[in-house]
């Protein structure tokens, strides 16, 4: 890759993500960190308003080169969700092409949309994805719940358990989602149980996004899975 192509690509990346470290960029382009420093200087000399955040990386000044096309938060969330689904395909070239296209699309996101799309991306996992006969989402709940996750809104749900017992009303703090065996699972802090609970989205019969905000519990989906595995091992007969 020529230096000019790399500079254009770095600029596109900076528009698609709030912060990028010199190490990330060096690894992506298979060059040294020193080369990245020189590239950043050249972009700055060309009048590109790059901000260096000490200890975190580089970003572009908010509002620079605002594109005429803007995405809503729901549209951005749909793209992030699609990325997780596409990345499960066994066609590596297709996934790579989609991810490269998404980088270009994300470059026109407003800073606030970038921030929330990155937050959502860390809170979604797709496991054992199948492409046929995907379970329909009840009443378009997926996009609304994603908004509640990234905006820290309480949600009130009527939930029907697998045993078909009468639905219960829950007030929850939606934290993350994952997909497994064609079903979306919502992880949330349940105020009825005073603990984290997993809810199948297709079993939510009614939901309401409440205006009240909850305080971020710093939930981490990877830690949740690790802890769940440990609990299953401790409760096993082996």
Domain segments of the chain as ranges: 3-60, 73-122
Highest mean pLDDT among 3-7, 198-202, 229-233: 198-202
CA-based end-to-end distance of the chain = 54
Quote the DSSP letter at residue 140.
G
Quote the DSSP letter at residue 18.
S
At the top level of CATH, the class of 3-60 is mainly alpha
- Please give the residue that has the higher pLDDT: either 26 or 138: 26
Highest mean pLDDT among 53-67, 124-138, 224-238: 53-67
pTM to 2 decimal places: 0.62
Q: What is the pLDDT of residue 235?
A: 47
In which band, very low, low, confident or very high, does the pLDDT at 45 lie, cut at 50, 70 and 90? Answer: confident
Q: What is the pLDDT of residue 136?
A: 47
Query: HEC profile for 50-95?
Result: EEEECCCEEEECCCCCCCCCCCCHHHHHHHHHHHHHHCCCCCHHHH
Buried b (16+ CB within 10 A) or exposed e, 130-155: eeeeeeebbeebbebbbbbbbebbbb
CA distance 181 to 202: 13
CA distance 54 to 71: 30
CA dihedral 221, 18, 116, 182 (to 10 degrees): -50
The tens digit of pLDDT for each residue in 92-111 reads 777 788 888 888 788 777 78
User: 3-state DSSP call for residue 100?
Assistant: helix
CA distance 67 to 116: 19
In which band, very low, low, confident or very high, does the pLDDT at 22 lie, cut at 50, 70 and 90? Answer: very high
Decide if pLDDT at 64 tops 80. Answer: no
The tens digit of pLDDT for each residue in 159-212 reads 988 887 888 999 999 999 998 877 889 999 999 999 999 999 888 988 999 999
- Please give the residue that has the higher pLDDT: either 176 or 67: 176
- Please give the residue that has the higher pLDDT: either 70 or 209: 209
């Amino acid at each position: 890759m020529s230096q000019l192509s790399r500079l254009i690509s770095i600029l596109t990346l900076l528009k698609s993500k709030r912060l990028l470290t010199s190490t990330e960029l060096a690894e992506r382009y298979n060059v040294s960190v020193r080369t990245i420093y020189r590239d950043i200087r050249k972009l700055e000399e060309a009048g590109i308003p790059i901000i260096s955040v000490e200890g975190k990386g580089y970003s572009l000044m908010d509002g620079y080169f605002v594109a005429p096309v803007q995405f809503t938060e729901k549209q951005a969330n749909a793209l992030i969700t699609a990325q997780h689904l596409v990345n499960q395909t066994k066609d590596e070239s297709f996934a790579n092409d989609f991810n490269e296209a998404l980088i270009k699309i994300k470059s026109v996101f407003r800073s606030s949309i970038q921030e929330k799309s990155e937050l959502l991306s860390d809170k979604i996992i797709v496991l054992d994805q199948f492409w046929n006969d995907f379970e329909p989402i009840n009443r378009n709940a997926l996009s609304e719940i994603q908004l509640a996750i990234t905006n820290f809104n309480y949600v009130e749900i009527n939930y029907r358990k697998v045993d078909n017992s009468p639905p219960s009303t829950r007030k929850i703090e939606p934290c993350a989602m994952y997909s497994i065996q064609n079903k979306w699972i919502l992880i949330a802090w349940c105020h009825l149980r005073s603990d984290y609970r997993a809810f199948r989205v297709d079993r939510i019969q009614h939901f309401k996004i409440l205006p009240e905000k909850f305080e971020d519990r710093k939930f981490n989906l990877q830690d949740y899975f690790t802890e769940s595995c440990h609990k299953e091992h401790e409760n096993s007969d082996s």
